[in-house]
Structure 1
């Protein structure tokens, strides 16, 4: 689904909402099912099992896959959130619903049959989920294409259906042989207060799961590998808590400490990225362990386990709903994460362990709670209202991320997430100065200039994947045609209303939608754009969506070039991912000639350092005077060719990690001056004597 939505991390957030919602429906089914007699429960579930398996087999016969074509649900007038939910429901809704019913139902059957608590089985089921998630990026994705993964999954699902069928038959046989069946269980004796507490304790970790995932992928990259990390941590907290561990004083203390540490890293710089990610993950771990430990401590007796699990799933769905849908609708920026930190700290303050409260006078406990509450709230409010002295002209948030436009002096800037996506001088004399990653010495500027020199008597067709501020149109000549592909309508509005680059090019055209899908549709319709240069610059915050840099994607892009001498320019500047080796491996596999062009961005005040990989079918393209006297380099790293069925993000991730930077950061936050190291000077005569002796 990622290509249809620009590779946005919102796809994952919405997917979490879908899966928590379907989990709730599965648990709701079990809750109502256990109201019937035991034998009837098994009969009903056998029918549900057979119908579900039949529908999956029917999908295999019709589409040769359990997943129907996405065109059924995507590309209509629905909002992106609803399109994702609809696509997931049609494709995996039935098998996942069946899977969702299995845990609470079998645990309930085990509990009433064996007369034992079933809750450790919940920990075991989460161990299975964790093993599947953790093995995917290391054992599955690097060694198995998507088609093979689908086949293995279908086979495993059919084995699961067969095993579950046997369990239901055995449970039915056992209950049918018993002379009497117990009466259906009533949950009227469970207080409403307990139910509310169960929902709340499940909701907060779920909210933090989605908020942390969004925060991390905004910092590094919206890629599935990083989406899995918070979910794995979330599952680990369930495993530990429902094994009966992690409820001591130390968990409470570490929760409060990691909340403070995470807040301190909210405005951290590039070199503190690794520590920022670690603190975010640790906060998720301890809030999950604390809340899930409290859930386990408040677990009911076995006969009420379906109600218990139903409330846990309801809380999980509410938390995911608040972070994935409600927050983007009401917050113009990623405020749910700092507010989540506030909630975590408040929860820790409210539930101070009895080992502390029993030894301290209640008045002092109340005073401490009030002081901590004031400090935490003021800190979060300060963060949300902090504009660093810069007032935003425009700020918005939608399915594709957050963006804002601000102005300092005579320079206007567009930021997407935390990354600059364009700048412009407001001075009319400097208005159309090439800026940021597209300055006069950048790779894309050289590619366009090369085509001007090679086609002096012709106008140029330039295609650009990703609009931003439209700064590349500063190179537009008389009669040239510039075509921008942009998936986010809000960015199109900003480029027209807040920046004037597009007015420089009368022949500009903007085509809305994911560039790869639009270009593939144009190719199938027989449209060849004959681009002299096709620029691949579609960034989500600081990363190119993976589906735009695979072998399949580049093949599509190449079909829209005018000639063998035309250039495909790929922007690979990135703080955390070394994209160039992946592009080069694919280029070599396709028989293309490549060149990496790095620029320090020293042409003007708003020029930025950049890295571009230029691809062409003809070697003579790089013999042009445009590419003379460049400091060319060749990456030592080599990665396998990426395709739509295979990619390996582990091979290109590069996160800065320096312990000394962390120490310096804490010194600065605490107001401690860094001690200057005075180097001992050695007289020049002594140095000369030592060198002579050597």
Structure 2
């Protein structure tokens, strides 16, 4: 025993110091692993260490402790590096391969959703594989099986998909994407997905007493780093082929590291066997920490894991869809939601203390009315607001779901089972968004359902843990109430007066940072809630920072708009808030001393006050969204819940635990209010009134199409009734029903528009050279409005990837049928179809080629790259005109169009036209690209041209890189 204790002896010098560090390391591990949930005293820790130490047999203590530091250090480094690299590769390949196949399938948001579905399903397969081999197979068989599959996965390298997988128009795009990904990255991704749970299992067995949960957090950090580095480092600086080869090389290094881990794991198993352990025992059986009783998770708990993971996954994909529908399908808008999803995992799994369900529950409560407002407003909201609000809502949902997952995580013995169910839930969420929703719903309603589901499953998790039995802290709820009051004041006296005059980006930054600081204050209040003096100092500092932020940023960006009233409200709230909070805290302390046995009543009343203030805040911002019956219902429910709580205590006895009526009954009421509001929003999409009626609504892989019949708003209105087509949230055209007006080009394609001028100028040129029919190509069918320019003998050839659009032309829109010209419709991605036509020697020799392939309000990026420009040039006759439609709310595509012209060596002309309500013409912006010098010299044409800005930049987009940041119109 002297040798182990480090007392003087033969091995005193180096060995004694080595073993002394060993014992302290073991004490630290024992403290972390077996200490109770609540912090105990130092004496209790020492007693625990002594008990664990003396419970080990002598030969185990001697052999195990002597080797413990070396094993722990080597194992931790080896497994940490392997898991980190595997996680990095796992999430780096997702945007990489998605970016690779994006141009093949039309560039829509469903492509990324389909990729995510594949990755989630394969992740589930990898986790299930790791669980089965770690439970069913012996260590030697585990290692041999895993190393064999690793060697086989090298056959998939490099992971670049073959051009033979480019889609055929009559095949299901979802099935094609899944098969393509399976044969391209299936093997490597499967092995990478199994690495985390399997390596953590091996680590927990070869390093007794060491918690594997930090390795899980490390894997999430690697995943996050991969996601953030792709759009900002790898995509801008490396070509796609270089990205593929780099990824493949690092994967080879990962295989070597995983092999090293497997071999060392087997060696450690042999060491355990030589330390007088029976063959059936492993390293973890030699540890009293692993021998502690572990209750198998109940079915209800496992279903809760599944539900929490599924809801967060569904919200991730639904949020990504919402962002990509109206902007562009680019890696950055894929990466942002997924990064927030991973950050929530990192925060929650790093340590349970980072998740405060009170703060994140209140954040989720505050986000729900804002979500309803954003969904109802749709594309009318500025992109910066959309991104900020959607990101906040997603983060709140993921934090509550993942935080509750961690709060009910199992013993390390059931680690792989836990991971399998988490990944199964993620796959279920992906199946719902990528398969069930597009083929079941007529609109993008998965976001609505996912939001409600997150609230429901979070409430179920809280009820399962009976959180109402925990003694509440007055400090947190006092500051929450003060925060709600402050937010209400700022909303009424600052936000509403400035909402219509502020720049959207400045508004988002000013109030976004304000909200973030308030939320950080809530989090810190939860951390310091037992230290009242620290709380008062925190509140004072936070109030001063909030005041300084508003006045400082306002003076810098919009000084003339900060009135005396606004300054007074901001300064007064900064002074009064900490004083009122401190007084309430003092009163709460006195009440605790006077009525120490009634905490539920006190905090229920405080929570009710908070709900009332939150309702007032929601009413100030969205007063038309809150109805009288909702306010009455909530007041009735809260009163009934309190009455039921008192009655239950009277019948069951005061010594019985509360049934939580006061908690879950009002919560259910609020969830029902949310469901009702979202249902109303869904009904509005099928609006039927005196002036507008939805006559058709459909959804497929490429988006949501809605046809509405719009009548004249006034009886004497000159405008004829019409059919309109909406894709997503953007109107893409309409056709009048009147016999004359139904043949006239409208919306973005009027005669004064850029494309209208291009067709008319081409016809005049051909007339001068001898009458020759025109050949016009159009990428994007829509309502087929451009066919109205057709004359006898002309050919108008339309390309559209969505087969449902062509069906609408036969049923509601008659531009193609009524046109004297010959009309052709090619179904499939325009770029691929035109490539195949060139390969077959079928250059179309268009006089005009119009690029109008909008998906909602976003144009597919792959149709504006330099490589695609080369395809356009081969389909245009010499001197032909390429017309690019760049009207957009969020993206300034002017620099990209000029870059395309520079690449082709052509001239570029910008043509803008104003709106004409009498003829149904919208304002629009077109860029005309042509090599014809005579067109630019034409005096009539020059009158229509809008001069370029002096500081206008030129951008070159390629298939390898297209930077969204450079063209965002904030």
Question: Could you say whether these structures have the same fold, taking a TM-score greater than 0.5 normalized by the shorter chain as the test?
Answer: yes
For the pair 1:147 / 2:244, whether they are aligned, the reply is no
Show the counterpart of 1:43: 144
Would you say the 8 A contact 2:846–2:880 is kept in 1?
A: yes
Distance 1:278 1:210 in 2: 16
Distance 1:16 1:447 in 2: 42
Distance 1:68 1:137 in 2: 21
- Alignment of structure 1 residues 680-691 onto 2, 5 Å: none
For the pair 1:601 / 2:915, whether they are aligned, the reply is yes
What SS is found at the alignment partner of 1:642? Answer: coil
Alignment length, in residue pairs? 646
For the pair 1:404 / 2:709, whether they are aligned, the reply is no
Show the counterpart of 1:671: none
User: Deviation string for 1:269-312 (max 9, x for gaps)?
Assistant: 52444223322211111111111111111111212101110010
- Alignment of structure 1 residues 652-663 onto 2, 5 Å: 652-655=967-970
What SS is found at the alignment partner of 2:926? Answer: strand
User: Deviation string for 1:403-429 (max 9, x for gaps)?
Assistant: 100011102100000111111111112
Would you say the 8 A contact 1:438–1:607 is kept in 2?
A: yes
Match of 1:424 among 735, 750, 757: 735
Match of 1:392 among 694, 717, 727: 694
For the pair 1:210 / 2:317, whether they are aligned, the reply is yes
- Alignment of structure 1 residues 61-140 onto 2, 5 Å: 65-72=158-165, 74-75=167-168, 78-115=171-208, 116-140=210-234
Show the counterpart of 1:644: 959
- Alignment of structure 1 residues 401-550 onto 2, 5 Å: 401-409=703-711, 410-456=721-767, 457-502=771-816, 503-550=818-865
Give the Å deviation of 1:120.
1.6
Show the counterpart of 1:615: 929
Distance 2:664 2:332 in 1: 44
Distance 2:785 2:748 in 1: 9
For the pair 1:231 / 2:542, whether they are aligned, the reply is no
Give the Å deviation of 1:505.
3.4
Deviates more, 1:569-578 or 1:137-146: 137-146
Q: CA distance change for structure 1 residues 26 and 153 in 2, over 3 Å: closer, same or farther?
A: same
Distance 1:193 1:597 in 2: 63
Would you say the 8 A contact 2:799–2:826 is kept in 1?
A: yes
Give the Å deviation of 1:140.
1.6
Show the counterpart of 1:304: 414
Distance 2:259 2:193 in 1: 15
Q: CA distance change for structure 1 residues 347 and 279 in 2, over 3 Å: closer, same or farther?
A: farther
Show the counterpart of 1:662: none
Would you say the 8 A contact 1:482–1:505 is kept in 2?
A: no
Q: Which has the larger radius of gyration?
A: 2
Would you say the 8 A contact 1:112–1:302 is kept in 2?
A: no
Q: CA distance change for structure 1 residues 404 and 18 in 2, over 3 Å: closer, same or farther?
A: same
Distance 2:814 2:961 in 1: 40
What SS is found at the alignment partner of 2:744? Answer: coil
What SS is found at the alignment partner of 1:208? Answer: helix
Distance 1:83 1:609 in 2: 39
Give the Å deviation of 1:23.
0.3
Would you say the 8 A contact 1:21–1:317 is kept in 2?
A: yes
Would you say the 8 A contact 1:31–1:306 is kept in 2?
A: yes
Would you say the 8 A contact 2:308–2:454 is kept in 1?
A: no
Match of 1:368 among 666, 677, 690: 666
Q: CA distance change for structure 1 residues 301 and 574 in 2, over 3 Å: closer, same or farther?
A: same
Would you say the 8 A contact 1:247–1:294 is kept in 2?
A: no
Deviates more, 1:602-611 or 1:201-210: 602-611
- Alignment of structure 1 residues 340-379 onto 2, 5 Å: 340-350=450-460, 351=462, 353-354=467-468, 358=600, 359-360=603-604, 361=645, 362-379=660-677
For the pair 1:247 / 2:562, whether they are aligned, the reply is no
Show the counterpart of 2:944: 630
Give the Å deviation of 1:375.
1.4
Would you say the 8 A contact 1:259–1:344 is kept in 2?
A: no
Give the Å deviation of 1:373.
3.3
Would you say the 8 A contact 1:256–1:348 is kept in 2?
A: no
User: Deviation string for 1:14-33 (max 9, x for gaps)?
Assistant: 11110000000000101111
Unaligned runs of 5+ in 1: 58-64, 656-694
- Alignment of structure 1 residues 8-19 onto 2, 5 Å: 8-19=108-119
Match of 1:290 among 389, 397, 400: 400
Would you say the 8 A contact 1:569–1:612 is kept in 2?
A: yes
Distance 1:638 1:174 in 2: 62
Give the Å deviation of 1:643.
1.4
Show the counterpart of 1:315: 425
Deviates more, 1:39-48 or 1:80-89: 39-48
Would you say the 8 A contact 1:70–1:87 is kept in 2?
A: no
What SS is found at the alignment partner of 2:846? Answer: coil
More helix by share: 2
User: Deviation string for 1:613-659 (max 9, x for gaps)?
Assistant: 1111122222234413135221434244111122211111123xxxx
What SS is found at the alignment partner of 1:142? Answer: helix
- Alignment of structure 1 residues 193-204 onto 2, 5 Å: 193-204=300-311
- Alignment of structure 1 residues 252-271 onto 2, 5 Å: 252-268=361-377, 270-271=380-381
Show the counterpart of 1:190: 297
Show the counterpart of 1:690: none
User: Deviation string for 1:92-118 (max 9, x for gaps)?
Assistant: 101101110111111111112222221
Deviates more, 1:395-404 or 1:587-596: 587-596
Give the Å deviation of 1:348.
4.4
Would you say the 8 A contact 2:459–2:664 is kept in 1?
A: no
User: Deviation string for 1:500-530 (max 9, x for gaps)?
Assistant: 1112134111111111111111111111211
Q: TM-score, normalized by length of structure 1?
A: 0.90
Q: TM-score, normalized by length of structure 2?
A: 0.65
Distance 2:787 2:730 in 1: 21
What SS is found at the alignment partner of 2:959? Answer: coil
Unaligned runs of 5+ in 2: 1-100, 286-292, 473-598, 605-644, 646-659, 712-720
User: Deviation string for 1:359-401 (max 9, x for gaps)?
Assistant: 5443433541343233122112111112444321110000001
Would you say the 8 A contact 2:368–2:674 is kept in 1?
A: no
Would you say the 8 A contact 1:263–1:341 is kept in 2?
A: no
What SS is found at the alignment partner of 1:10? Answer: helix
Show the counterpart of 2:574: none
Distance 1:294 1:280 in 2: 21
CA-based RMSD:
2.0
Q: CA distance change for structure 1 residues 625 and 451 in 2, over 3 Å: closer, same or farther?
A: farther
Q: CA distance change for structure 1 residues 200 and 553 in 2, over 3 Å: closer, same or farther?
A: same
Give the Å deviation of 1:66.
2.5
Show the counterpart of 2:544: none
Show the counterpart of 2:21: none
Show the counterpart of 2:18: none
Distance 2:408 2:126 in 1: 22
Would you say the 8 A contact 1:435–1:604 is kept in 2?
A: no
Greater relative contact order structure (CA < 8 Å, 6+ sep): 1
Distance 1:604 1:377 in 2: 41
